[in-house]
Every structure is written in structure tokens, then in C-alpha cells.
Amino acid sequence: MKTWMIVLIVVAVVLIAIIAALYFLGKKAQKKQAEQQEMLDANKQTISMLVIDKKRMKLRDSGLPQMVIDQTPKAMRGSKLPIIKAKIGPQIMSLICDDKIFDSVPVKKEVKAVVSGIYVLDVKGLHGKADVQPVKKKGRFRRALEAAQEKAGAKPLK
């Protein structure tokens, strides 16, 4: 056999091993996430709260209880989380918001929220007209494309 054939076979075997490992790790992570979602759904309750502020901030700066910060894996402590400061009854609390609904949470409005522990799963407007529609941000490519079309005098895309 020639050396390039041996190299090609070794590379193919390594790629197959990597793909198999990723498949099984992904399956394990998917099962773990399904269990966590089931637990969140079992403990959810609807409460009324006044959203004071919302930000993406690091876990240690978020104002969450120290016990929550200690239980978080060290790799996650440096990442930014969507945090909501809300007045629930007489107390002001920091809550972690679901990434999917973070942009649609209205600030300085009273909302009905579905909460599981310190995790906000869903919000609905309560008083007045609820502007709970997410604002879709334009990506870098879309802005550059629109700027180029504007210079060319073409009609911008929607």
C-alpha cells in the first residue's frame, strides 16, 4: 500500500470515531435537557410581577442568591445570562429569564409570568396595552446588504 492510502484510511477512521462520539454525547445531552424541562414544567406557577429592569449580565453580578452561584458549573459563571429584576409582592427579586422570551419582556410594566423557582418561562401582559412583541434585531449581513442597496439606489428588502 502507498503511504497516502494509509493516511487517508487513518483520517477516515478518526473522523468516524469523532462523529460517533458526538452522536452519543448529543443523545445524552438531549435526554438530560428533556428531564430538566419536565422538572421545570412540574414546578411552574403563574404569578403577577412588576418588571423593573432586564439585562444580560454575568452570574456573579446578577444579584442571585449565593447558593445558586455556588451550584453553577465554573464554566458557566463567566457567561452572561438574561436577568430580570422584578417586584413580586413586597420583595424585589432577581430572576433568570428564558432566552427565547427575553426580548419580549416589557420593562416597567406589570405582567403575569409563568415561573419555576427563579426561572421565568413565559410572560403575558396584565394591565393596559401589552406590547409584548419581540423586536427582531438586524444582523450584520442584513445591515451591510441594506447599506449597499441604498448606495446603489435599489429598493431595500424587507
In the numeric block, the cell 403575558 is attached to 124
CB atoms within 10 A of CB 151: 8
Instruction: Supply the pTM of this predicted model.
Output: 0.63
Chunked into runs of 10 residues, the chain (158 residues) has average pLDDT values of 89 97 95 91 90 90 85 84 92 90 89 90 70 64 86 66
Q: Which amino acid is at 22?
A: L
